[in-house]
Amino acid sequence: MGCVRPPATIAVLIALTLVAGCSRSTTLTPAGRNASASASSSPSQPSDPAARAAALVARFSDADLVGQVLMPFAYGADAGKVSAEAVAANRKYAGVDTPAAMVQKYRLGGLILMNQAAADPTASTNKTTNIVSAAQVRTLTDGLQAVATKLPGSAPMLIGTDQEYGVVNRLRDGITQLPSASAFGAAGDPALTRQAWTAAGADLRAIGINVDLAPDADVIGQGDGVIGSRSYGSDPKAVSDQVAAAVQGLRDAGVAATLKHFPGHGHTSGDSHTELPVLNQSADALATGDLPPFTAGIGAGADLVMSGHLDVRAIDPGVPASFSSKALIDLLRGRLGFKGVVVSDALNMAPAEKYAPGEAAVRALVAGNDLLLMPPDLAAAQAGLLDGLHSGQLPRQRLVEAATRVLTLRLTLGGRPQPGMAGVNGADRQAAAAKVAAAAVTVLRGGCQGALVRGPVTVTSSNGRDPQRAWLTDALRARHVTVVPSGGTEVRLVGYGDAGADLDSSAAVTVAMDLPLILGQSASPVLLATYSSTKVSMDALADVLAGAAPAPGRSPIEVPGLPRSACVA
């Protein structure tokens, strides 16, 4: 019989988790029933995805069960035709030639697509680029699904990517581009957030991506830490509202949303790609400062939660949350009531690679993950799971439970028709993104009426900002502002990765295209923040500079020495 606990605050429940040791044998499937009981019932043609998944899983072979819980990457931009270099890489990783062969051999429940982009804080674990263009991704995903739907279960597979927008953004051209999460936080309008994520999600769904590893539910503390502008801000309530709206928008578009990085990566300066960050906040601080956005996202219908490689001392000291049953089963499932799919953060990140690939896969699944993201050696991960199943180290019920959850999501997403490409990057979808960009622009120092620049303007930036300079130059000229190559009133653009050395003390206007903390070091008489460097953000900036629009945004974080807005209370 499960533990019976009186009502308590989340903080108290976290504390109880550390001492109570509640049985973990009663974890529920998405349908709300014990996994072994689900698998034993086999209705002939159940209409409910969870019941159908349970019936199918009950007949799966061991290899089919293991395949459900794997979400690796693959080399090559097409399902069946790849370069010689991609063939060699796939053989080393999985013993196959192509992505299609990988799906077939390993009976995969999911696959992640990725892009190796400069200035991406997650780039170290992205081993390949198989996202090139919208049309290419649609061809790739069609090829993958053609294989997946012929496997046992006949369900479309989960095809995911990290399309957070902002600095973590896998496809930047040819689809609707949203501003960063911090821009949404500055705009502070959940209705606009939902509309924008619906628009972006519709594009993702049309190109064949049905799982977005977003939104980021981390609440950032003072300073930018490692999450930075990927977060909606530092206020738990405001972040909760934004996360819930983003989840709803993706669901409106038929895309599964993923909350990350549970139970919260925002109060650490360590990067879990390269080390195991330690979070020292108390259980009470965790409950009030980190968990609310996850609770809100779950309430909004998030289909997945990503477990973080985080040493959360208030939950399970010394054990990464991604490998902790106290974090994933006792807290996430037992206390927060999450019934969807728990996906691990990438298993090729440093904290997970302390274990051999097969051992890491077994440990992560036993701890409560249902879907194992990016194992560093796919063949070894599969072998480890099969060996663990046969030896009893991986309880069959735990594997059945995880496979049932994953297949339930596959069947649920597969119940909606695949849209065509006609509306991708359409004007209506771009307009939804533009509304958020315009609502985000913030004046942290300077005037609030009329044009902020006079006479000829010169746009400058740190290195690598050529597109942004060109976009802003064109947008200013379209608003009848004279722009000259040099000698004009300087508008300085700074962005992700820039520091004080990238500022220009002679600039009349300095604009932060990422978190605005850098503005605290600027001597410019006018300070602005767009939080993003997209074209729509540069268009919105041009409107404010030219006096054609106000700057209604408020910084979602505190910048020492500056107000959240010089123009908005």
311-to-26, 272, 374 alpha-carbon distances in Å: 26, 10, 20
The string over 262-272, giving b where at least 16 C-beta atoms fall within 10 Å of a residue's C-beta and e elsewhere, is bbbbbbbebbb
CA dist 532 and 210 (Å) reads 25
68-to-99, 238, 260, 373 alpha-carbon distances in Å: 16, 36, 21, 12
Please state whether beta strands 211-212 and 256-262 pair in parallel, antiparallel, or not at all (unpaired).
Answer: parallel
Options 261, 267, 273, 309, the catalytic residue: 273
Instruction: Please spell the DSSP secondary structure of 365-407, one letter per residue.
Output: HHHT-SBEE--SSHHHHHHHHHHHHHHTSS-HHHHHHHHHHHH
Query: At 413, which amino acid appears?
Result: L
Read off the tokens for 263: 């139970």
Residue of 555, 512, 239 lying closest to 565 (CA atoms): 555
Instruction: Please spell the DSSP secondary structure of 168-183, one letter per residue.
Output: EES--SSS-----HHH
Tracing tokens 């892009």 back to the chain, one arrives at 115
Rg (CA), the chain: 24
Distance of CA 157 to the CA centre of its chain: 19
β-sheet bridge partners, residue 161? 212
Name 458's Cβ contacts closer than 8 Å, sequence gap at least 6: 483, 484, 485, 486, 487, 488, 489, 490, 491
Asked if 440 contacts 553 with a C-beta cutoff of 8 angstroms, the reply is yes
| Backbone phi and psi for residue 119, each to the nearest 5 degrees, phi listed first | 60, 30
Options 345, 370, 539, 543, the catalytic residue: 345
CA dist 103 and 144 (Å) reads 7
**DSSP 8-state class, residue 447:** -
Residue 145, SS3 per DSSP: helix
Residue 390 bears catalytic tag:
no
Residue of 383, 411, 368, 394 lying closest to 153 (CA atoms): 411
CA dist 222 and 269 (Å) reads 10
Residue 273 bears catalytic tag:
yes
What's the 3-state SS for 482-496?
CECCCCCEEEEEECC
The string over 414-430, giving b where at least 16 C-beta atoms fall within 10 Å of a residue's C-beta and e elsewhere, is beeeebeeeebbeeebb
Asked if 101 contacts 146 with a C-beta cutoff of 8 angstroms, the reply is no
- Active site (catalytic) residues: 273, 345
